[in-house]
Chain A
Amino acid sequence: MGANFNITDKRYEFTQNSKLISYVMIAIGMVAIITSFVTHSHQAWSNLLINNIFFMVIALGGLFFLAVQYAAEVGWSVGIRRVPEAMAMYLPWGAALMTIILIGNYIAGHSSGHYLYHWWHHDLFNPESPEFDHIIAGKSGFLNMPFFIARVAFYFIVWIGFAMYFRKLSRQQDSAPNGSELHLKMRSASYKFLVLFAVTSSMMAWDFIMSIDTHWYSTLFGWYTFASLFVSCIAVMAIMIVSMKRKGLMDHVNEHHLHNVGLFLFAFSVFWTYLWFSQFMLIWYSNIPEEVAYFMIRQDHYRAFWIATFFINFIAPLLLLMTRDAKRKPVLLLVIGALVFVGHWMDFFQMITPGVVGSEWHCGWMEIGTAVGFLGLFRYVALNQISKAALVPRNDPFMEESLQHTF
């Protein structure tokens, strides 16, 4: 099998033509964003938020995947490690754009009176004001500006710090004579990251997404967002690995590796559905007005989107990826990866938009254009990072195991 495989120092070359595609996508995004602001589209801010969160958490998912591989000392994934590594390097971009969006929205909201996050209104917490909201004021211990800023800063420092650290050590390993030492360093770092990730990924979901619907809360929300971010990350990974393989750059990745990626895609699609349904069913069953309000708006005004996400993210991967042969077909992985990617973008859309703009919504060329722009930026950053290092990591103690991986 892979026993006599000859490791070649293959690199992905980020050509001018390929860069041009990203530039065009970013240009489309810029036009869409500027148009939506110039025409005073009330979805302009939520579009920015959806897309930035979506691509930022995909990068975060890449970092999580990487940390799990180190912590569990996984052998097979060494050959594909460069892909999540490159994806995680989008985190500084995501964090920077997030900061710009939050500050920009705070300034813009100050004059227009419309914030992305309802609880940003000071009057809600002021008992003297007619706007005073008893329920939101009760949440002021968590939802207050200084603590919010501190939390967001903490997430970004943790994520970017670990992403840079893993990337640096992994590239050092390529030329280090003794790779095991660096491997152990990354392994112990991954333990620390996983603990921090468990906390930050949940809290990030409350801060960035759940606090839009300020009155509403769900104890499952952090997990639900985690499932969504991880499965979208696996979908992007599958797309990238298959396209690299098609270019002939990843010959060391055989059908057994693809099978494992397919398993992840299948398993976490089911996991996402499990949480999606659990959150829905408990609220549907108990029928408490303040909880049901969240789903009422989605059911009445976002019905097509809301139901479509279920079919795209659950029924499609379930039926198409169920057999062993399907998980090993690159073309099928590519198609389902793209499908799940779009499906989870729609999932983030229906998580965020109803809370920001209510029932007056549309998903036209400005919404899709903004998504294309962010995708262009993500594509540029990830491919640029991939081109910087050889696709086969060297000196990793598990490299040989990855090359010989059969299942």
Chain B
Amino acid sequence: MSHKKLIYGIFDDEDVLMRGIKTLKEHGIAVKDVISPYPIHGLDSAIGLNRTRISICCFLYGITGTCLALLMMWYMNIFDWPMDIGGKPSFALYKNLPAFIPVTFESTVLCAAHGMVITFYLRSKLLPGVEPHVIHPRQADDYFVMSVEADENKVSTIEGMLKQSGAVEIKC
């Protein structure tokens, strides 16, 4: 059994929070995560988060969208029912490409955007019907939540440290 425990320090100010992270780091305690109502510059590097890989997903979803759109239009307007596009009966995908670009572009954006949003929701366990894990009712409103993982015997020292650095509330 793991004897690790999660401690949540709740802050009401960005600067106090950043100073708190620094204090904990100086004592060799790693901050696991921070929940904040808005992005804080320099937070990722302060708590040592890895770079997000969502941009890679975005690229892959975008490529998928491009291919799907081209496949769809090739099937509909070239293969299944050849269309005379703009008075140019060329009946080849590459020759009619200019007419297909707007749809391809839109499909790329659609797939990339929706794919990213869905991926983000899945990754954050935010799905319809899933009970949200709310640490503090004001966590996405105007409060910042910092979570620290620690051994059970260290809990009180960390709690003290959080209190000292200005946390308005501490939850276990």
Contacts and interface: CB of A to CB of B under 8 A. Distances in A.
A406 B101 contact: no
A287 B98 contact: no
A72 interface: no
Sort A-B residue pairs by CB-CB distance and give the 5 closest, nearest first: A285-B86, A281-B98, A284-B98, A287-B87, A406-B41
Interface string B89-120: 00000000011011000000000000000000
Contacts of B98: 277, 280-281, 284-285
A266 to B, nearest CB: 13
A277 B101 contact: yes
A9 B57 CA distance: 45
A406 B55 CA distance: 20
Contacts of B55: 323-324
A281 B98 CA distance: 6
Given A277-B101, A322-B59, A324-B55, A284 B42 contact: no
Contacts of B85: 285
B41 A407 contact: yes
Contacts of B86: 284-287
Interface size, A (range): 10 to 19
B123 interface: no
A108 B42 CA distance: 63
Contacts of A285: 85-86, 98-99
B88 interface: yes
Interface in A258-288: 277, 280-281, 284-287
Nearest to B85: A285
A281 B99 contact: yes
B96 to A, nearest CB: 10
A323 B55 CA distance: 8
A152 B56 CA distance: 49
A1 B42 CA distance: 10
B101 to A, nearest CB: 6
A49 to B, nearest CB: 29
Given A280-B98, A285-B99, 7 more contacts: A281-B98, A281-B99, A286-B86, A322-B59, A324-B51, A406-B41, A407-B41
Contacts of A322: 59
Interface in A373-407: 406-407
Interface residues of B, number: 13
Contacts of B59: 322
Contacts of B42: 1, 406
Contacts of A324: 51, 55
Interface in B51-95: 51, 55, 59, 85-88
Contacts of B87: 287
A324 B102 CA distance: 26
Contacts of B99: 281, 285
Contacts of A1: 42
Interface string A1-13: 1000000000000
Interface string B20-48: 00000000000000000000011000000
Contacts of B102: 281
A324 B101 CA distance: 26
A322 B102 CA distance: 21
A285 B101 CA distance: 12
Contacts of A277: 98, 101
A322 B56 CA distance: 11
A321 to B, nearest CB: 13
A119 B51 CA distance: 58
Nearest to B86: A285
Nearest to B42: A406
B114 to A, nearest CB: 20
A284 B42 CA distance: 49
A274 to B, nearest CB: 9
A5 to B, nearest CB: 16
A306 B99 CA distance: 19
A287 B41 contact: no
A164 B42 CA distance: 39
Contacts of B41: 406-407
A101 to B, nearest CB: 35
B133 to A, nearest CB: 30
Nearest to A283: B98
Name, among A285, A322, A323, the residue most crowded by chain B CB atoms within 10 Å (CB to CB): A285
A310 to B, nearest CB: 12
17 contacts: A1-B42, A277-B101, A280-B98, A281-B98, A281-B102, A284-B98, A285-B85, A285-B86, A285-B98, A286-B86, A287-B86, A287-B87, A322-B59, A324-B51, A324-B55, A406-B41, A406-B42
Interface in A1-49: 1
